[in-house]
Amino acid sequence: MQQILNTIDKVDIFGVPVSLLTSAKASLYQSKLGGIITILIGGISFTYFLYAIIQWIDHQIPAIVSIKQQTISYAEFQLSDSIIQLELQDFSGDVDPFRKEHNIITPNLYRILNTSIVDKPIPLFSSEDRPFTISIDNGTIVLNHDSVGIDDHIQMTQLLLVLESCSNLTAVSGSYCADQNVINEYLTKFHGFLFLKIRLNQLKYSIGELEEIEKQYYTAFELSRPLYSQVLLKQQETVVDDGILFNNYNYYYFLNNYELIHQPVDNFFTSQVVSQMSKQKHEFKSFGCYLFRIDNISVNESITLPKLGQILAQVGSIVQVIFLLKYIAIYYNKMLLENELLHEIVIMYYPEMKKIKLNLFNQFEYQNQNNLKDNVDRTLENFKYKYQAFIKRAKEKCRLNNILYEISRLQFIIQQQFGDQILQQSHQMGGKLKNNYLDHQSSKESNRLTVKPANSIDIDNDYALMEPLEMLQKQP
């Protein structure tokens, strides 16, 4: 058990390196250039962080969007608020053929269940507020291609809008046809285009709201050559994940597009179709019809809004690139520290070199070149050469093997002069604490603050006041 306790510190992963203090009594060597680069990259990184966060809050960062088409077998769509409109742009007159009174063309809406018409048609007359306009205000369109019936599914439902010639025999209460001469005159004229307008939706996922847009097709309104048109309504399902940290799904179903397919038919084609589906005799002239159904190909869209973690990861990657500048500062500090240490070693042996200083650009400069020439008695070029040689030798001296070599030489010299016994006794040597230690410290401080003439300094007493830890400390 004791052995386990003695070795448990070996698995410590939180160990810290032992730092040697620099001459400034700091564990790190720092420089002005490093400080400038730190402020620069720190400011740029923080500014980019604020920029990215503001962009994220304002939903300016693009979301991840995936869109795919899929075939569906069942879908429902509820018509409301006049989502489908048919408007006549008549260039030859101001007679509204769809009005309830003096009616010329009756727009009848048939509901087709599978392939049968069961209910009576619903007339869709224009109003005084919106003349020349037919609106489908309500109704349900169902797509059902399931081979096996499901209880909660509605059978296939389509809507057929037929522009029929007015007949008093089939007119509803409150409606009557225009005079036959008026009808005949109207049918012989050119009447422009029919505009099919359907309101669609598109999702503004940044705020989670559906925006309405209107898409329209126009076809020629040729009474003698009517068109049989199919309107394929296309639905879209959108899933939006707007969670900040975790997933939060919102589902939207809406009409995003439609397709118009038409072909020319004769005036009695639609009446024959209605007769076959309703199992009843219908005789009317048709001036066009529109079959509304849901397309079995829908759009499935998945939107994932940027999460906070994604933004922070993006900022972190950019900041890492910005922090590549730190290697410039690290290299600069390394070279500056090396030059200063080598310079300190040189002036240990040659005190006259103290007049050489390192500037901001990590280059040596001479503070007083004239005095330097007088003291060294060399030309400036010769002195530079000698100084570079000193630096090279100092670099060699800093090697660990050279340091150990010097210590070993000192050991042998002491061993030769004083013997092995003195070296062995050095393990027990050390300074002793006196009873009047505080008085001694006070005396030291007072003596240091006292200015004395140079010839009155007592060298022995001065060294006697020094602590053992101070004896061989490098003096400033």
Angle at 208 between CA 202 and CA 212, to 5 degrees: 30
Ranges in the chain, pLDDT < 50: 372-373, 375-378, 447-457, 459, 469
pLDDT per residue over 87-116, tens digit each? Answer: 999 887 778 999 999 999 999 999 999 889
| pLDDT for residue 68 | 93
Residues 129 and 138: their CA atoms lie apart, in Å, by 19
| pLDDT for residue 466 | 55
- Intra-chain end-to-end CA distance of the chain, in Å: 52
Residue spans of beta strands (DSSP E) within 145-282: 157-165, 193-204, 209-220, 227-241, 249-264
The two structure tokens encoding residue 68: 């795919």
| pLDDT for residue 381 | 66
| pLDDT for residue 430 | 74
Residues 218 and 197: their CA atoms lie apart, in Å, by 9
What's at 223, amino acid-wise? L
Distances (CA, A) of 295 to 60, 73, 262, 450: 34, 10, 15, 104
3-state secondary structure of 418: helix
Exposed e or buried b per residue across 403-416, where buried means at least 16 C-beta atoms within 10 angstroms of its C-beta: eeeeeeeeeeeeee
| pLDDT for residue 450 | 45
What's at 91, amino acid-wise? F
Residues 153, 79 contacting (CB under 8 angstroms): no
pLDDT per residue over 444-464, tens digit each? Answer: 555 444 444 444 445 455 555
Residues 353 and 177: their CA atoms lie apart, in Å, by 120
Residues 291 and 289: their CA atoms lie apart, in Å, by 7
Measured from the Cβ of residue 238, the count of other Cβ atoms closer than 10 Å reads 22
- Residue 453 zone, left/alpha/beta (φ > 0; ψ -120 to 50; rest): beta
Angle at 458 between CA 453 and CA 459, to 5 degrees: 115
3-state secondary structure of 109: strand
Largest CA distance in the chain: 146
Return the axis-axis angle of helices 380-397 and 369-376, rounded to nearest 10°. 70
* DSSP designation for 454: G
| pLDDT for residue 358 | 67
